[in-house]
Structure 1
Amino acid sequence: MQEKQQSVMIVAGEASGEMYGAQIASAIRTLSPDTRFFGMGGNCMREAGVETLVDANVMAVMGLVEVVAHLPTIINGFNTLKNKLHTDPPDLLILIDYPDFNLRLAKVAKKAGIKVLYFISPQVWAWRSHRVHGIGRVVDMMAVLFPFEVPFYQKAGVPVTFVGHPLLDLVKPTMRRDEALASLGLDPQRRCVGLFPGSRLAEVKKLLPVILDAARILKERMPDLQFVLPRASSLKDEDLAPCLSGAGLDVAVIAGRNHDVMTACDAVIAASGTVVMELALVGVPHVIIYKMSKFTYEVGKRVINVPHIGISNIVAEKRMVKELLQDEAEPLPIANEIDALLNNPGYTAAMREDFAAMRVKLGSGGALGRVARLAMEMMK
């Protein structure tokens, strides 16, 4: 009798998560070449041989109001995966971030007797900490990025392993600043400001017009500036075109070379998200901005228990990088902060020292390989 082929469902809901999902699938395949992969993801996971039953690009929304608007799409995607868990149960379900969706899916898997490995902990240490007990009931192993998360889960009796942060391996610039600028078609003799509006279409629509207004102010003050915008894999050029076409600015849009773009930049305007950790690891001075619906923000203020929104600031346990949120995330304050980053060498030198200290806290590389080995152990 032929042995059943081993299978893994991987579920990631946004650009950074599906990039990790692709790497984990590749690492597991190295250890077990015949393993079959399916789940929810985007281009990176498809290229890694994962059959994507649900496209993550249409699922990546953030904020209460925004989620409600996309609810039919989200429910449809959830039901597709739920049905697959029953009709073609995998040997392991790997969930990556995307907590409100993934914890519900973990509950379905647990009832079906499928083991669950959760990678990138929901930020229960930041808000709704009571959720940790519910997580323990539906997750067989929590693989965490940060050392401070381990005692939090241990105290609640949840199986946990510190694997480290995958960005330590993935963020490896290969060029000097002048080489990066030249390779991107930019002028190595001019200062460069990066415009990083996020990877979700909804946040790009909200943030990019503000970022471009700030860039115009900077261009008036410093005519030699040039601007570059890395397009996330979850977006298309036509998603950016409505904002860029009427901006009155020359902005170089680059796809697929985020770390080269970071290396080329003297300063960056960045939407809050994984990218701020990447910028800190590359050592690029930046400002963190974010806007959401007023309702989402007012609710968040009352339930979130951390003093920062930037994950790099949270890990550093200090405000290394300025955060401009909601009404503060306006063109003039953003432009003023970038001005300071470009023209105050002492300010940026201190920021880079903070970045180096934060990096030490993240441990060593090899995180995704550890997740793959953990997955193999769970499937034995």
Structure 2
Amino acid sequence: MHIALVAGEPSGDLLGSGLIAALKQRYPHARFSGIGGAGMVEQGLYTWVPLERLAVMGLVEVLRHLPELSKIRQQLYQQYSADPPDVFIGIDAPDFNLGLEQRLRARGIPTVHYVSPSVWAWRPWRVHKIARAANLVLTLLPFEATFYEKHAIPVSYVGHPLADLIPLQSDPAAARRSLDVGCATAGLIVALLPGSRLGEVKRLGTLFLDTARWLAVQRPDLSFLLPAATPQLYEFLTHLQAERAPALPLTVVRGRAREVMAAADAVLLASGTATLEAMLLKRPMVVAYQVAPLTAWLARRLVTVAHFSLPNLLAGKELVPEFFQEAATVMALGPAVLHALNDVGARQMLMAEFTALHLALRRDADQQAAQAIANLVETSSQPDAL
């Protein structure tokens, strides 16, 4: 059994590592190849190129890296044409994976796309490309499966692995003890998460530090934690703090973003998977999102949903404040964070909403996804199945 997987960013590596572990239970002698990060490699994936070469954010940014991305995709196609896998699983990264899936499917290789592109939010015409590319779509969110069912595309809602991994009740005191930083034992803490990529952090890092400085004036009892996803980001953020906010009671933490959020009383963060983690940890949050100007211009004309953060999308209403592009300012973010800290009644209502969403997403996703893929492989192995 040969199983191919391609993940395009760290969140995809998290999904892929859990999926490989679940697939190994069904196919203990399978070999796994493709592109993934440390988690997938640890589970036995042979990776052709580092995952970081695929982790590019935004329309404009992708254009700059298009020649390299196209070369990698062509190399994968040639490799899997010569050594066909029993199934190919594209994990997220739709602009990279869907084209590869379509070409491999045309050669008779069963294909799965794991994590729905946001076709329900913008560029809805992509659903036709997905239909041509994937024998099966695995979705993490329930409303996504409904969308595909309406378009008669084979789909399985598997839930989200993070909902399985994160307990229904978090323990802020234990997280503070685990972090073992001076500011984490007393007073109120605000976590700052400007992103996990350097491009994101360059756009939001200064804004978040300036917001923290404003908050510290309003509430001198506050302290701040800022996790750095990589050594490069740690160096960048420590220098940025020294230049921008040397007197701020802030600790830059190497990694451990989930523990930082669990330890916090409120979270200021960039839109993305981290907003889902903060929701599952039941942390009040304020969400900001900034991209390249051309990307923002295009998004405003193509996006068809009212919200962009995952808690709000899941709830179908605004549970947490979110600020896009030029609306993300110190005087917008700061008061929103203060409200999250001060309004006890709103906080209790938010916790109840977050708990209900957590339960809806908790479905043993790794096993659900592995079983759906196994069903596809077994069906596809029958004569004329494809």
TM-score band by shorter chain is: over 0.9
Return 5+ residue gaps in structure 2 as ranges. 379-386
Q: Deviations over 1:241-270 (max 9, x none)?
A: 442332313433334533322220000011
Aligned to 2:178: 183
Aligned to 1:195: 192
Aligned to 1:124: 119
Amino acid at match of 1:286: M
Amino acid at match of 1:123: S
CA drift at 1:17: 1.0
Distance 1:258 1:173, change over 3 A: farther
Q: Deviations over 1:212-239 (max 9, x none)?
A: 1111111222222221122336965334
| Superposition pairs of residues 151-162 of structure 1, within 5 angstroms | 151-162=146-157
CA contact (8 A) 1:9 1:93 kept: yes
Greater displacement, 217-226 / 239-248: 239-248
Distance 2:85 2:358 in 1: 36
TM superposition score normalised by structure 2? 0.91
Greater displacement, 210-219 / 340-349: 340-349
Q: Select the residue among 129, 142, 146 that pairs with 1:147.
A: 142
Distance 1:202 1:73, change over 3 A: farther
Aligned to 1:335: 334
Q: Select the residue among 162, 169, 172 that pairs with 2:167.
A: 172
Q: Select the residue among 237, 240, 258 that pairs with 2:237.
A: 240
Distance 1:76 1:242, change over 3 A: farther
Greater displacement, 52-61 / 291-300: 52-61
Matched, 1:223 2:220: yes
TM superposition score normalised by structure 1? 0.92
Distance 1:80 1:107 in 2: 15
Distance 1:173 1:261, change over 3 A: farther
Amino acid at match of 2:227: P
Aligned to 1:350: 349
Distance 1:11 1:129 in 2: 23
Root-mean-square deviation (CA, aligned residues, Å) is 2.0
Amino acid at match of 1:221: Q
Amino acid at match of 2:7: A
- SS of the aligned residue for 2:108 comes to coil
Distance 1:236 1:257, change over 3 A: same
Greater displacement, 14-23 / 241-250: 241-250
CA contact (8 A) 1:173 1:263 kept: no
Q: Select the residue among 49, 54, 62 that pairs with 1:67.
A: 62
- SS of the aligned residue for 1:54 comes to coil
Q: Select the residue among 191, 194, 208 that pairs with 1:211.
A: 208
Aligned to 2:373: 375
Aligned to 1:3: none
Return 5+ residue gaps in structure 1 as ranges. 1-5
Greater displacement, 105-114 / 239-248: 239-248
Identity of aligned residues (%): 37
Distance 1:255 1:89, change over 3 A: farther
Q: Deviations over 1:66-106 (max 9, x none)?
A: 11222233223323322222222211111111111111111
- SS of the aligned residue for 1:94 comes to strand
| Superposition pairs of residues 64-143 of structure 1, within 5 angstroms | 64-143=59-138
Distance 2:100 2:239 in 1: 36
Distance 1:72 1:240, change over 3 A: farther
